[in-house]
Each structure stands twice: as C-alpha cells, then as structure tokens.
Amino acid sequence: MHCRHCHERPATRPRGLCLTCYDLPGVRLRYPTTSRFGRRGLANGCFAPPTPTFPTQARPGSPEKIAVLAERVRQGVALWHPEDATLAGPVSEPALAG
C-alpha cells in the first residue's frame, strides 16, 4: 500500500502515511485514523468544547434542563456551565462585604 499523501513511498506509519509525510507539519491532521480503535468525532478528547454562553437556572433532571442540554449538544458547546443551577438551587453570587 502506498502513502495516502504522496502516493510514492510505502505506507509504514499510522493513517496510511509514509514516514516522510507523517512527519510533515499539518499533513498528519489531514488524514483520519485508519485504526478501528481510533477515537473519532467531536468529543474524542482532542479539545475542550467552548463553554456555553449563559448558565441555566433549570434544576438537574427537569424537562427544562434536558431541553437546555439538547440545545447545547446541537450547538457543539460543553454541556455544563460552571454557574448552572444545582439540586440545592441556583448558584448565587457571593455577598459583597460593605
């Protein structure tokens, strides 16, 4: 089998690439893994998705919270915002000493 990039040298590295092409900057990223054990998809651990733009006051397990989570999946952002409501209620701002 020849290299998927240069089509000249034998493919001896993962992703079906030759050693030279595998080491070139950016070439490796162009070709998906050919391993059946390769991690694929957005949530493959290669990056952290962006934080949602706003927290939700919906309590965990409620239909409102499930709708918010479904929307976050559709948008491709993280499921949890640091200020999302908890079972104890909404996350409140710390009181300022005056």
Q: What are the tens digits of pLDDT across the range 62-89? A: 999 999 999 999 998 999 999 998 888 6
> Is pLDDT at 61 greater than 80 in this prediction?
yes
The continuous run of DSSP H or E covering 20 comes out as helix 19-23
Full residue range of the structural domain in which residue 15 is found? 1-38
Number of residues in the chain: 98
Tokens of 90: 């909404």
86 with 50, same domain: the answer is yes
Mean pLDDT computed over 48-56:
89
Whether the predicted model's global pTM rises above the 0.85 cut? no
36-69: buried (b, 16+ CB within 10 Å) or exposed (e) per residue?
eeeeeeeeeeeeeeeebeebbebeeeeeebeebb
How many domains does the structure of the chain reveal? 2
Query: CB-based contacts of 29: which residues, under 8 Å, 6+ apart?
Result: none
Look at residue 80 and tell me if it is in a domain.
yes
Q: For residue 33, give both structure tokens.
A: 């893994």
Condensed to tens digits (0 to 9), the pLDDT of residues 5-36 reads 999 999 998 888 999 999 998 898 888 877 77
Verify that 33 and 64 share a domain, yes or no.
no
